[in-house]
Amino acid sequence: VQASFAKSCAPPPGARVFVAAASAPSMAGATESIDVTVREREYRVQALNQQDLDRNFSLATTHLFKWMQAARMDMPWMQPGYRAFGLLDPPLPSRRLLVASQMVRLVHPGVLAEAAGDEVVTRCEVGSVGRTSIEFRYRIFFGERLVGSGCTIMVVVAGEPGRLKATPVPEAVRALASSSEGDDRTLLLTTLEGLPKDAPEGAYALPLVVRYSDEDVNKHANHSALPRYFEDAKEAILADQGAPAALRELAGQQLEAVMVGYSSEARAEDRCEVRVARGFGEGALDLWVVRLAPNRWGGQPGLIGRGRLLCGGGVMPSSEERRIRSSKGTSTSSRL
């Protein structure tokens, strides 16, 4: 997907700009000005076409989580590899952020099947800030139309990959915190708190192996991998004639929300299992990703992450139905 950053929220005249001496050897003797007044950013993706859609003629939530990441990483005090974040006072070159939990909530089930032909805009702002955590909030638009909201709760850490430890949020970033509580954050934390730590006995199980392409610069599976595992499991249940009928019926519904909590790092070649069961509440499909064996980096068998898919809005139409529906009265079909 070709995408471009919208350089919004420029600091007002006279705004305070933090200046830090660069500590990386490749930047010796240089100084870098880091604007820590910016608390909002947006990320734009050009009008979506066939290459952006999944097998259901729909935009996968994996893209949304990636674009949420893109919007927050464009904060001038973040930047690729968290290079600016590590320079904030007190300087700590290994400082970075890890996703603890996140969610996307759609305005109605099936709205992601309406994405073709629209530009996608993801607007990000800083939400609640704790001692070692930062919340980012999002609004997602297809063109000018609001189609969803979301949040990401991240933990500030430092150290070597595989040995990262929580560390305080820099004071300059703490000053950007919102004064109000976010509805998505409340829903996310309440849902994860009520979700059992372990899947029930007899839960549907789908094997998977973490790919090298799932990893990011932190040398672990990127945060967007788990939502993809969740959606893959939903599709597998729907296709599996031997799966429990009640589970298949729920998996055949359209997606309304995705909530994910992360417990440990997943690494390439990890042998895992996605376990799925009906959750409490209407349309709730609960999922657990479990590592089955130790890995060579010290990871032990056990929970990697868990979450919930909220499904509803009737049976998911076929991709052909959606394709034909999208072409009626529009020029979309000529672009696909």
Judged by phi (left if over 0) then psi (alpha if -120 to 50, else beta), residue 128 lies in beta
Interval 167-209: pLDDT, tens: 999 999 999 999 999 999 999 999 999 999 999 999 999 999 9
pLDDT at 16: 39
More confident residue, 147 or 20: 147
Mean pLDDT of 24-30: 36
Q: What angle do CA 266, 306, 174 make, to 5 degrees?
A: 80
User: Are 41 and 75 in contact, with CB atoms under 8 Å apart?
Assistant: yes
State the Cα–Cα distance between residues 224 and 115, nearest whole angstrom: 19
Residues ≥6 apart with Cβ < 8 Å to 127: 134, 135, 136, 137, 151, 177, 178, 182, 185
Residue 329 has pLDDT above 50, yes or no: no
User: Tokens in use for 66?
Assistant: 């990636």
| DSSP-assigned states of every residue in 221-280 | B-TTHHHHHHHHHHHHHHH-TTS-HHHHHHHTEEEEEEEEEE-S---TT-EEEEEEEE-S
pLDDT range class, residue 334, cuts 50, 70, 90: very low
Closest CA to 231 of 285, 151, 303, 195: 285
Distance of CA 19 to the CA centre of its chain: 31
pLDDT range class, residue 2, cuts 50, 70, 90: very low
By DSSP bridging, strand 165-166 and strand 145-158 are antiparallel
Mean pLDDT of 70-83: 95
User: Tokens in use for 128?
Assistant: 């609640």
State the Cα–Cα distance between residues 307 and 195, nearest whole angstrom: 8
State the Cα–Cα distance between residues 33 and 10, nearest whole angstrom: 14
Q: In Å, what is the CA distance from 251 to each residue of 232, 247, 290, 305, 316?
A: 11, 6, 20, 20, 9
| R_g over Cα of the chain | 21
**How high does pLDDT run on average in the chain?**
86
User: Are 258 and 270 in contact, with CB atoms under 8 Å apart?
Assistant: no
Closest CA to 68 of 99, 38, 111: 99
Q: Helices 61-73 and 225-239 meet at what angle, rounded to 10? A: 170
Closest CA to 253 of 315, 174, 304: 315
Residues listed for the chain: 336
Among 14-23, 31-40, 124-133, 214-223, whose mean pLDDT is lowest? 14-23
Query: How many beta carbons lie within 10 A of that of residue 70, not counting itself?
Result: 18
Q: What are phi and psi of 40, to 5 degrees?
A: -135, 150
Interval 316-326: pLDDT, tens: 666 666 565 66
Sign, CA dihedral 150-155-157-161, equals negative
More confident residue, 2 or 159: 159
pLDDT at 219: 82
Distance of CA 203 to the CA centre of its chain: 25
Interval 257-312: pLDDT, tens: 999 999 998 999 999 999 999 998 899 999 999 999 999 988 999 999 999 999 99
pLDDT at 104: 98
Among 30-39, 42-51, 140-149, 221-230, whose mean pLDDT is lowest? 30-39
Q: Residue 301: is the preceding peptide bond cis (ω within 30°)?
A: no
